[in-house]
């Protein structure tokens, strides 16, 4: 019953009206903030504003103006989701007789006209169309009643726009590659279908709570305001439009066994419910208890299978690509709270969801599987690891590398990390023993007497004693000196020499002695950092260190994960070794990328702070008067120091950004190498390229691309050298799918036999062929050219290679639609038609 809500609103309106003379600005500010930050309570507050407007026309006008100002601010500050909430609030004010319908339609027309802009970024026009469409559940009825001709025209324009849009990016954002049972729709497509259905239902919408209906007699007496004409702000280089997304669906009306039926996927109710639940999480994610309570007290919950909606929305966020809106662990904590508050119903829904996710592992995106594993193992650790493992006995009957057994193995691995080996043995049925992880143990080959014939065995003992007796670094190096170098010839190369046996003996022994705990290992590595450095001056040497650590801790991947970032070795070299299959290797890679990013951000922050300080100082100087001579000298010194500091920091930032770029480039390069090797190997062996490994690897690469998209804009310079873009009109057609940032990237060139021409067939989809002269060496980048990316997508030459080593000319750009093409190109390369790649078809899924 809403009667108490109504009387509260009535009362509040009265109080505020009385306060207006004294506190008008404060009230304006608060109401504007509420519109922006509490979208789930939209209709409550629009009603309030409606009541105030009915009592005080001027206030209504001032509120509308303040909202428009706020809208401009949020758009300028790249707060696009808040901007949507503001537009929606304004549109609902039409229902409250605060804003005249025609002026709202005019604003919508201005929004949609953005789609007519020349050389526009698709993400920009997407947002404006989304803003309009997402208001229609609230205000569609009213606007159609007043201005149906204009609204029809508007919707037609939108329809035309949606048909023109590029959707090359969609596969990269989908959680599952399969269309069944629920297609993962592009978000605008889904919303459009929902709006069309709503229109067919003559805009009858019954889910949204509308308190203003009860006040209709009061509100319709009010005078309405016209929205001032609103011109969407022009595009600027600083604009960071929201990334496109895909609607996550895992449930439908067949899944909730009893009780209210789940609204269909194209019903507007579904949209509104999901929107509101997302908004609640956005408002309350920091406080998991409040968030859970708010979710469970969703108004109208008795008419919908709320638990299913909540679970679906939460998993939708958790699996969102490239990254969830909030930190992963929040979702685990939130689900635990929800289980606590609804112990009789929510755990069952969650179990059902888990079961469904397990059943569909084969087509689930690898990154999402990672998150599923992390979530599930952490969740289980809070519930004594209770699970009906026997239900998953089917995973025992297939190859252990297949998705289902791999999933179970990795879940058990993660569960073990949170507990201990014997616990895992105890919780699974004996039939699952093949999937139980090995007991984490340090593998010290020199500790086993049966290995006494190994070269270096005796020296290992000597080194061990030396370390225990706190020998100096020099003494230790002397002890190692007598070890022969198995790579004798390489010793002759300048700078390449390293003795793998020395590294092996020293590092193995050191880690063995320090194997007790992480802290011990870290101290040991730190203490003997100098010795390690001496032994491994070359990159090859560093790589060997990684190999040794990997071998030694083979059964304890967690240690390896934590060790690598700590040994300060250039990580990308890791991937020339065949580590790519192992789950925890990705943890290391992502951890490295994360740390690099934090490093860059930290220095950028220092730079900003120094700049602010200088500005403040100079500002202060202008204001102060006084003993001019003394003041000037002091402040000049201070300024000078600060300016120097700023210059130093600027250099630091640039060098850090350059390191970060390099990291991504090397990662991409390595991926291309191993992917190409796989493709070539399969072709020469006439084997299907689509192995589990391949799917895994491609999706990993996709994820890195998406991460680069998110992280790199902040650091790349805008200007770069020219590029061989042969057909600029074609390039501009693709600009629609490009983000506003300009990316420069080094072209990675693989073995190529002859320079390729720009093929006219390619222009159909507007991609541009970027090729360059090849080189002899595989993986070597001769040209070192930096290319301007803003209008380019990639091309991959996809003619199936008839012979080993034929051209794989690849320009790679960390730009997501292009990246999709690249991925598709690789997928298709194995056996598809060149035209498939050109048309962006998922020919080869």
Q: Which residues bind other proteins (CB under 8 A)?
A: 286-288, 327-330, 332-333, 336, 374, 378, 381-382, 384, 414, 417-420, 517-519, 522, 558-559, 562, 565, 591, 594-595, 598
Neighbours of 287 (CB within 10 A): 13
Residues 6 or more apart in contact with residue 104 via CB below 8 angstroms: 90, 91, 94, 139, 143, 227
Give the nearer residue to other proteins in terms of CB position, either 598 or 845. Answer: 598
Q: Which of 204, 196, 182, 432 is nearest to 315 (CA)?
A: 182
Tokens read off for 739: 């983000």
Give the nearer residue to other proteins in terms of CB position, either 481 or 594. Answer: 594
Give the nearer residue to other proteins in terms of CB position, either 381 or 635. Answer: 381
Coil/strand/helix, residue 96: coil
Give the nearer residue to other proteins in terms of CB position, either 591 or 835. Answer: 591
DSSP state, residue 725: -
Tokens read off for 703: 């994820």
Per the CB < 8 A criterion, the answer to whether 80 and 241 are in contact is: yes
Coil/strand/helix, residue 722: coil
Helix axes 366-381, 692-711, angle to 10 degrees: 90
Supply the minimum distance, in Å, between the C-beta of residue 513 and other proteins.
17
Residue 453 burial (CB < 10 Å; 0-12/13-18/19+)?
A: exposed
Supply the minimum distance, in Å, between the C-beta of residue 327 and other proteins.
6
525, containing H or E segment: helix 518-527
Tokens read off for 698: 């491609």
Give the nearer residue to other proteins in terms of CB position, either 30 or 329. Answer: 329
Supply the minimum distance, in Å, between the C-beta of residue 674 and other proteins.
27
Nearest 5 degrees, angle CA 486-CA 491-CA 495?
Answer: 135
Q: Which of 165, 160, 139, 162 is nearest to 736 (CA)?
A: 165
Tokens read off for 82: 């808040």
Give the nearer residue to other proteins in terms of CB position, either 202 or 594. Answer: 594
Supply the minimum distance, in Å, between the C-beta of residue 494 and other proteins.
38
Give the nearer residue to other proteins in terms of CB position, either 519 or 757. Answer: 519
Give the nearer residue to other proteins in terms of CB position, either 422 or 431. Answer: 422
The span from the CA of 32 to the CA of 718, in Å, is 36
Tokens read off for 315: 């998993």
Give the nearer residue to other proteins in terms of CB position, either 286 or 578. Answer: 286
Tokens read off for 115: 């789609």
Give the nearer residue to other proteins in terms of CB position, either 378 or 844. Answer: 378
Supply the minimum distance, in Å, between the C-beta of residue 525 and other proteins.
13
Supply the minimum distance, in Å, between the C-beta of residue 329 and other proteins.
4
Supply the minimum distance, in Å, between the C-beta of residue 567 and other proteins.
15
Supply the minimum distance, in Å, between the C-beta of residue 417 and other proteins.
4
Widest Cα–Cα separation across the chain:
99
Supply the minimum distance, in Å, between the C-beta of residue 345 and other proteins.
21
Taking CA atoms, 405 is separated from 96, 369, 410, 500, in Å, by: 57, 12, 9, 36
Supply the minimum distance, in Å, between the C-beta of residue 328 and other proteins.
7
Radius of gyration (C-alpha) of the chain in whole angstroms: 31
Supply the minimum distance, in Å, between the C-beta of residue 173 and other proteins.
24
The span from the CA of 431 to the CA of 85, in Å, is 53
Give the nearer residue to other proteins in terms of CB position, either 158 or 333. Answer: 333
């Amino acid at each position: 019953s809403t009667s108490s809500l109504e009387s509260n609103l009535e009362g509040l309106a009265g109080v505020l009206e009385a306060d207006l003379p004294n506190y008008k600005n404060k009230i304006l500010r608060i109401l504007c903030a509420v519109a922006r930050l509490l979208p789930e309570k939209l209709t409550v507050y629009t009603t309030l504003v409606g009541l105030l407007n009915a009592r005080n026309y001027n206030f209504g006008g001032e509120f509308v103006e303040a909202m428009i100002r706020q809208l401009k601010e949020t758009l300028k500050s790249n707060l696009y989701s808040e901007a949507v909430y503001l537009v929606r609030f304004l549109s609902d004010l039409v229902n409250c007789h605060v804003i005249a319908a025609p002026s709202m339609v005019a604003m919508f027309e201005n929004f949609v006209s953005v789609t007519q802009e020349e050389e526009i970024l698709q993400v920009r026009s997407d947002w404006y169309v989304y803003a309009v469409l997402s208001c229609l559940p609230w205000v569609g009825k009213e606007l159609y009643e007043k201005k149906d001709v204009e609204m029809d025209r508007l919707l037609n324009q939108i329809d035309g726009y949606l048909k023109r849009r590029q959707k090359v990016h969609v596969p990269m954002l989908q959680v599952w590659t399969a269309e069944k049972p629920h297609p993962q729709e592009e978000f605008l497509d889904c919303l459009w279908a929902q709006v069309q259905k709503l229109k067919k239902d003559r805009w009858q919408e019954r889910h949204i709570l509308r308190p203003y209906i009860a006040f209709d007699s009061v509100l319709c007496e009010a005078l309405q305001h016209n929205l001032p004409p609103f011109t969407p702000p022009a595009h600027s280089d600083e604009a960071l439009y929201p990334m496109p997304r895909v609607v996550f669906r895992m449930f439908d009306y067949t899944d909730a066994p009893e009780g209210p039926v789940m609204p269909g996927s194209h019903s507007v109710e579904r949209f509104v419910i999901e929107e509101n639940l997302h908004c609640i999480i956005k408002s309350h994610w920091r406080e998991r208890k409040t968030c859970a309570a708010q979710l469970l007290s969703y108004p109208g919950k008795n008419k919908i299978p709320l638990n299913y909606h909540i679970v679906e929305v939460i998993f939708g966020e958790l699996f969102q690509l490239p990254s969830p809106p909030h930190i992963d662990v929040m979702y685990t904590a939130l689900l635990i709270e929800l289980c606590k508050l609804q112990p009789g119903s929510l755990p069952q829904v969650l179990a059902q969801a888990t079961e469904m996710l397990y059943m569909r592992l084969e087509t689930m995106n690898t990154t999402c599987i990672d998150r599923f594993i992390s979530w599930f193992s952490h969740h289980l650790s809070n519930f004594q690891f209770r699970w009906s493992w026997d239900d998953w006995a089917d995973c025992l009957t297939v190859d252990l590398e297949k998705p289902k057994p791999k999933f179970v193995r990795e879940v058990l691995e993660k569960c073990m990390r949170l507990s201990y080996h014997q616990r895992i043995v105890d919780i699974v049925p004996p039939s699952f023993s093949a999937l139980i992880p090995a007991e984490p143990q340090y593998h010290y080959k020199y500790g086993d007497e049966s290995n006494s014939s190994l070269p270096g065995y005796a020296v290992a003992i000597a080194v061990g004693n030396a370390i225990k007796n706190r020998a100096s670094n020099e003494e230790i190096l002397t002890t190692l000196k007598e070890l022969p170098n198995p790579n004798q010839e390489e010793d002759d190369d300048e700078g390449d020499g390293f003795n793998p046996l020395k590294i092996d003996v020293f590092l193995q022994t050191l880690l063995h002695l320090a194997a007790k705990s992480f802290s011990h290992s870290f101290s040991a590595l730190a203490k003997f950092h100098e010795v390690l450095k001496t032994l491994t001056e070359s990159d090859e040497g560093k790589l060997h260190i990684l190999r040794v650590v990997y071998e030694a801790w083979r059964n304890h991947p967690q240690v390896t994960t934590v060790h690598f970032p700590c040994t300060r070795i250039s990580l990308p070299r890791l991937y020339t070794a065949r580590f790519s299959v192992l789950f925890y290797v990705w943890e290391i890679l992502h951890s490295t990328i994360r740390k690099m990013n934090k490093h860059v951000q930290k220095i950028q922050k220092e730079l900003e702070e120094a700049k602010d300080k200088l500005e403040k100082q100079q500002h202060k100087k202008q204001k102060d008067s006084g003993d001019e001579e003394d003041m000037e000298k002091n402040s000049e010194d201070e300024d000078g120091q600060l300016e120097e500091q700023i210059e130093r920091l600027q250099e630091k930032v640039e060098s850090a950004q350059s390191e970060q770029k390099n990291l991504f480039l090397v990662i991409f390069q390595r991926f291309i190498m191993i992917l190409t090797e796989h493709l070539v190997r399969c072709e020469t062996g006439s084997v299907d390229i689509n192995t589990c490994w391949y799917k895994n690897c491609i999706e990993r690469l996709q994820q890195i691309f998406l991460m680069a998209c998110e992280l790199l804009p902040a650091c790349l310079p805008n200007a770069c050298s020219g590029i061989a873009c042969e057909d600029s009109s074609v390039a501009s057609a693709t600009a629609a799918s490009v983000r506003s940032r300009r990316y420069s990237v080094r072209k990675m060139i693989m073995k190529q036999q002859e320079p390729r021409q720009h093929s006219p067939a390619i222009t159909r989809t507007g991609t541009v062929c970027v090729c360059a002269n090849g080189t002899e060496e595989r993986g070597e980048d001769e040209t070192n050219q930096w290319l301007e990316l803003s209008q380019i997508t990639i091309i991959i030459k996809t003619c199936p290679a008839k012979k080993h080593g034929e051209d794989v000319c690849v320009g790679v750009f960390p730009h997501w639609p292009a990246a999709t093409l690249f991925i598709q190109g690789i997928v298709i390369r194995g056996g598809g038609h060149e035209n498939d790649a050109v048309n962006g078809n998922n020919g080869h899924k």
